[in-house]
Amino acid sequence: MPRALMASVANRLAIPDLSWMPDEGLTPSRLRIELLSGLTVALALVPEAVAFAFVAGVHPLVGLYAAFLVGLITALIGGRPGMISGATGALAVVMVSLVAQHGVEYLFATVVLMGILQIIAGVMQWGRFIRLVPHPVMLGFVNGLAIVIFLAQMGQFKVPGSMENTGHGLGGGEWLSGLQLYTMLGLVALTMAVIWVMPRITRVVPAPLAGIAVVAAVVIGFGLDVPRVGDMASIEGGLPQFHIPMVPLNWETLKIILPYSVILAAIGLIESLLTLNLVGDITGKRGGASQECIAQGTANVVTGFFGGMGGCAMIGQSMINVKSGGRTRIAGIAAALFLLLFILVGSPLIEQIPLAALVGVMFMVVIGTFAWNSFNILRKVPLMDAFVIVLVTVVTVMEDLAVAVVVGVIVSALAYAWNNAKRIHAETEETEDGVKIYRVVGPLFFGSSDGFVELFDPKTDPENVVVDFANSRVVDQSALQAIEAVAAKYEAEGKQLQLRHLSRDCHQLLTKAGHLMVDSDDDPDYGLAVNYSVRTGILGGH
């Protein structure tokens, strides 16, 4: 069946897009790129999963199993090919208190409930609300994310075993010093240099993978004394086993896990949907928010039953994937399967990889992720937008990504409401027959309702007053209340007030407020008009 016909049928039947093939088809060259990109991502996933497991206070395999299961399931059915999911620091810092107080079994139960909530969000199509995130918030989010990724790498410059478990890897512990520090810095720089030069020489191998391979060869070949993956923890293990969380199935358990589940589900979806948008901007794809919610939820339900700590989209690893050329679901699936292979049989080799190589890869991700043009943008955009960009960046670094986005959206919404509230005004004129017309300009809503009331002067106005809403819009109940307040003032003065040019949805709002709709021919010049007589309490319209 032709691709266009398949897409048409999928759209009509509301079947999610599970396309496996790139637009140009799956050629040997494309398959190689996808597999090598997946391998690169898998190598970068190992220290991240182990570190986040330490943050949450669980065994490293709990983090690795989450990275494998969440990564595999979301790669299969997620909303955007190219995205990478797994255990993340934003979720781990929430989990740590739950594990400390109630144990890991309650964590598994929480992850299952978290997944169920995310599935509900997907079925209800709540993911589309990510469209409400303004561009300044996205810009601040991206910049804050780049800084967080950078700070997270600082923990790798400490003596293995001396690091405290913190969200950004900046806890206590002894920093590397002397020759070991200089060697580490040199290897990081070498990795970054290889990644920068490699695309100019050949694109047969993804640049990040080439950087890891070159530096690993240097370290192993010369026996350099630098921290390696195995210094963090052993990643050797078996297949994840099905395991029902050993918690009492009662109301007390629900009271414990529900608050954590709600928070984790919200953070996971916000990070995942923002990653969806970010990857979509790079790959030129749109849509898939609801599908991604369902995929994340399904992945977390399964992970909770197989001894994983749950997870969500990983923006850093997603950037590694798309920058390495990964564009289909094959790369994500390959990354998950390579990770499982590392756990089962490849741990002795993977544990020899120097952390410096992986730090160098993440530093290049930081450089590629940070919106450097934002320094120029800050000078050109309105002051409030510049403030939101800086605010979201700071809150992302100081708190977490989800809190930063919520704060940014709230501030942007308040700024928008304030700006629109100041726009309300009226142009007035008096006709030959003594009727005064107020032509209202600007939206009428809760923010501008007080200003709207102040536009009128019932005491000095003539007997008949018309309020023309052709250039305005009645938005909410506060607007209706403001109209009724003005009408009451004119009624108290024994004067008549008429409303004109209300849109159809304004008709509906006024009808819901309890007014009677009747046909009228007293305003034939308007295609859609309403006359509200204070004296009769009747709305008339065409």
The full DSSP string for 274-305 is HHHHHHHHHHT----HHHHHHHHHHHHHHHHH
- In whole numbers, what is the pLDDT of the chain averaged over residues? 84
3 state DSSP class of 204: coil
pLDDT of 295: 96
In the predicted structure, residue 33 carries a pLDDT above the cut 50 = yes
pLDDT attached to residue 197: 94
For residue 25, name the pLDDT band (cuts at 50, 70, 90). Answer: low
Q: What is the mean pLDDT of residues 162-187?
A: 71
Q: What is the pLDDT of residues 277-314, one digit of tens each?
A: 888 887 777 778 999 999 999 999 999 999 999 999 99
Residue extents of the structural domains in the chain: 26-376, 422-541
Tell the burial category of 459 from Cβ atoms under 10 Å away from its Cβ (0-12, 13-18, 19+). Answer: exposed
In whole angstroms, what is the distance from residue 250 CA to residue 241 CA?
A: 25
Number of residues in the chain: 542
DSSP label of 422: T
Q: 422-541 is classed in which CATH architecture?
A: 2-Layer Sandwich (3.30)
Q: Tell me: the pLDDT tens digits for 178-224?
A: 898 999 999 999 999 999 999 899 888 889 999 999 999 999 999 99
pLDDT value at residue 138: 86
Averaged pLDDT for residues 230-258:
93
**What's the pLDDT tens digit per position in 370-379?**
889 888 889 8
Q: State the average pLDDT over residues 230-255.
A: 93
> For residue range 508-535, what is the model confidence (pLDDT) as tens digits?
666 665 543 333 333 333 333 344 444 4
pLDDT at 2 over 70: no
> Residue 479 — pLDDT band, cuts 50, 70, 90?
confident
The model's pLDDT over 41-60, given as tens digits with 9 standing for 90+, comes to 999 899 889 888 988 889 99
Do the beta carbons of residue 487 and residue 532 sit within 8 Å? yes
Q: What is the mean pLDDT of residues 132-136?
A: 86
Q: Smallest Cα–Cα separation from 314: which of 272, 279, 342, 270?
A: 272
Q: Region 216-241: what's the mean pLDDT?
A: 91
